[in-house]
Structure 1
Amino acid sequence: MKFVDEAIIKVQAGDGGNGCASFRREKFIPFGGPDGGDGGDGGSVWLVADEGLNTLIDFRHQRVFKAQRGQNGMGSDMYGKGGEDTVVRVPVGTVVTNVDTGEVIGDLTAHGQRLLVAQGGKGGLGNIHFKSSVNRAPRKATPGTPGEVRELKLELKLLADVGLLGFPNAGKSTFIRAVSAATPRVADYPFTTLHPSLGVVSLGTDQSFVIADIPGLIEGAAEGAGLGIQFLRHVARTRLLLHLVDVAPIDGSDPAEQVRAIEQELAKFDPELLRRPRWLVLNKADVLPADERQAVAEAIVRRLGWTQPWFLVSAIARENTMAVCQQVQRFFESQRQAREERTGMAPGDVRLRGEDEAR
């Protein structure tokens, strides 16, 4: 299935039903009092995160979602029935933005999380509410209010622990094949990966993390060149970036300059990404003579002034790839322990909203 990570939809909540102006009419009671009921509230539109979905492609076919209108009030003090809500399922990781205002309405990051995107209208009041000592036969009733109508932009951002950075053909797809069960397409031409894919790296019982193979960057990506921002949005949620570089490009380009070029694109798109933990993975070591590999890698690292962890691997030969994953797992474990020490909360603990303020 084609991966689709953006969609524009229209949501329309139901209008409230109108209130009723009615009077009690029974045998022997020719002038009964008002008995008009209220109109029912209109249905609302909700978005619900569903971990069973991984694409927004369904919204290519259906773009308008309407909730039911509230029923009008009736005589004999009968209130109108409320309209049914409309529930729209979206993938976990969907960011919802109001197209007209640019306001981010919500971010659905957990399975089952619900987001109200269009509030149903309120039902109108029947004339029973307007009876008073000076007005025994009110003929006034109010109409229901209209439901909200919005145009929304849905934007899917992958939820992955590790994101793979690198120019096209740096070997990202080969790397994710080597360390997980994911099977992205691999070929010797740029932009083999046109759509993001996720792989789960399993290192034993309760030891795993999710890694994202995302389309390669080129210079100018922050301004939309190549696959541009379609790529960059997906690294926004990752906890760690692995920056893959071809240690000996066949076109003779400088690996160190390739690293700097991607750093510039990250800084343009979001400077925070440049401050995120980022490890250098020098790939395709198998193309170099065994006795020269380490020296070539160390020369690249020196030119970059690299201070974070770095690795020399051959993804296609699966050399040193699992060592990288083991180091990643240890990094996440140290983060978890530091978080527990800082918050005093073990995994699975839940802190109620407002608990911190009450302390």
Structure 2
Amino acid sequence: MTEGNFVDYIKMHVSSGKGGQGSAHLHREKFIEKGGPDGGDGGRGGHIILRGNSNLWTLLHLKFKRHARAGHGGNGSKSRSSGADGEDVYLDVPLGTVVKDTETEEVLFEITEDHEERIVAQGGRGGLGNWHFKSSTNQTPRYAQPGEPLNESDITLELKILADVGLVGFPNAGKSTLLSVVTSAKPKIADYEFTTLKPNLGIVEYRDFQTFVMADIPGIIEGAAEGKGLGHYFLRHIERNSILLFLIPADAKDIRKQYDILLDELKRYNPEMLDKERMIAISKSDMLDEELQAELKQELDKTLPINYMFISSIAQKGIVELKDKLWKMLND
């Protein structure tokens, strides 16, 4: 998926249908001049329904759909005939979509399962026909209920990526290059910071036709948890990843310090992030000769608190071993 096609934030105005009016009809036919009430009920207004779709990865298809309006319910008629229900409007969204009230920013619900349906704007109920109101003391009621009004609101859709492995690192750490090597994704790659401004997804093909999903998250900077740069915009995509793969370049001044800063940003944004499986990949290790790598390994064995390995996307160094370790972590 290209960066330009990835849309993860949409604002919409949704409007359900109003309920149909109940009928106040009185039965009339040949030889029956004063029949009883037989007005039918009004139809229900249409709902606006969000539906999970596992085949979608982006909100791109809703980018230019700023309004969604459901159909109105039909009015009731004679012979107790109910009006037709208004047409429901279904909006398919990718799994991991969070729905918020735009005005209050309250989280209404999340869509996390395929074919899961949630009503975001409920249609008005249809009014009751006059036959519901007849009684021994009121045998010919000449009134019926009006339908309920429509419901409308402004909502915000935010996508939090559902991926097996999320790549975490500072800008220009080699995340996009790794994704391009292990998957068929074609992320934008360049030798400057913040080349990636939107997440990229790719499917990693493993042995025996097995696969897992990897997400390239835009680079994090110190202070991202407080919203510095585009911190919140980036960090929310890491919440739904099963495994966090920290990418730190071999030429970093202090690898342990970079890891601690990244971990601290995740912790301050959401402490639950620390419960996820983590692993460190020392990228761009083709710059190290055997002697330098041995010295660095000796130092890292003492300082790094979790498993790590040396890789190079350009030289294809350690890529197969990296896939093996990630697959084992996912299935353990």
- Band of TM-score, shorter chain: over 0.9
Compute the TM-score of the two structures, normalised by the length of structure 1: 0.87
Q: Is the 8 A contact 1:297 1:312 kept in 2?
A: no
> What is the aligned length?
329
For 1:80, the equivalent position in structure 2 comes to: 83
Structure 2 counterpart of 1:59, from 57, 62, 68: 62
Does the 8 Å CA contact 1:182/1:199 hold for their aligned counterparts? yes
Corresponding residue to 1:331 among 326, 329, 332: 329
Q: Structure 2: which amino acid aligns with 1:53?
A: L
SS of equivalent residue, structure 1 residue 263: helix
Instruction: Report SS of the residue matched to 1:291.
Output: helix
In 1: Cα distance, 2:230 partner to 2:297 partner: 29
Q: Which has the higher contact order (CA 8 A, sep 6+)?
A: 2
Q: 1:86 offset after TM fit, Å?
A: 0.8
In structure 1, what is the equivalent of residue 311 of structure 2?
A: 313
Matched, 1:12 2:10: no
Identity %: 44
> Is residue 322 of structure 1 aligned with residue 317 of structure 2?
no
Alignment partners' CA distance in 2, 1:9 and 1:284: 43
For residue 247 of structure 2, give the secondary structure of its aligned residue in structure 1: strand
Letter in 1 for 2:248: V
Q: Distance in 2 between matches of 1:143 and 1:34?
A: 16
Query: Structure 1: how far apart are the matches of 2:323 and 2:196?
Result: 21
User: Equivalents in 2 of 1:183, 1:99: separation in Å?
Assistant: 34
User: In structure 2, the residue corresponding to 1:169 is in which secondary structure?
Assistant: coil
| Alignment CA distance shift 1:227-1:311 (3 Å) | same
**Which residue in the other structure is 2:184 paired with?**
181
1:92 & 1:270 partners in 2: Cα distance?
Answer: 20
Q: Which residue number in structure 2 is paired with residue 347 of structure 1?
A: none
2:185 is paired with a residue of what secondary structure?
coil
User: Contact 1:247/1:297 (CA < 8 Å) preserved in 2?
Assistant: no
State which of 125, 129, 148 in structure 2 corresponds to 1:126.
129
Amino acid at match of 1:2: N
On the 8 A contact 2:256/2:304 being kept in 1, the answer is no
Find 1:220's aligned residue among 220, 223, 230. 223
Separation (CA, whole Å) in 2 of partners of 1:70 and 1:173: 51
Equivalent residues in 2 for 1:238-249, closer than 5 Å: 238-249=241-252
Give the match for residue 159 of structure 1: 162
Which position in structure 2 is the counterpart of 1:93? 96
Specify the code of the residue in structure 2 equivalent to 1:173: S
Following superposition, the deviation at residue 287 of structure 1 comes to: 1.4
CA distance in 2, matches of 1:124, 1:9: 29
What secondary structure is seen at the aligned counterpart in 1 of 2:291? coil
C-alpha distance in 2, partners of 1:130/1:175? 71
> 1:258-295 deviations in whole A, cap 9, x for unaligned?
22221221111001112322111111111123211121
Question: Structure 1: how far apart are the matches of 2:315 and 2:25?
Answer: 83
Q: 1:32 aligns with which of 29, 35, 60?
A: 35
Residue equivalent to 2:274: 274
Residue equivalent to 2:49: 46
Look up the match of 2:175: 172
Give a deviation string over 1:176-219, Cα, whole Å, max 9, x none: 22222222122110011122111222221253211111111011
For the residues of structure 2 that align with 1:205 and 1:185, how far apart are their CA atoms? Answer: 30
CA distance in 1, matches of 2:305, 2:142: 80
Gaps of 5+ in 2: none
Structure 1 stretches of 4+ with a deviation exceeding 4 A read: none
Tell me how far 1:101 sits from its aligned partner.
4.3
- How many angstroms does 1:235 deviate by? 0.9
3-state DSSP class of the match of 1:205? helix
1:26 positional shift = 2.2
**Bigger shift: residues 63-72 or 18-27:** 18-27
Query: For structure 1, which runs of at least 5 residues remain unmatched after alignment?
Result: 335-359
Counterpart for residue 256 of structure 1:
256
- Residues 119-147 of structure 1 show CA distances to partners (whole Å, capped at 9, x for unaligned) of 11111011111111111111221111123
> Which letter maps to 2:281?
V
Query: Which residue identity is paired with 1:225?
Result: K
CA offsets 1:284-328 (integer angstroms, 9 cap, x no match): 1111232111212432453xx323211111222110121011011
Distance, in Å, in 2 between the alignment partners of 1:33 and 1:2 is 62
Paired residue secondary structure (1:177): helix
The 1-side partners of 2:315 and 2:112 are apart by 36
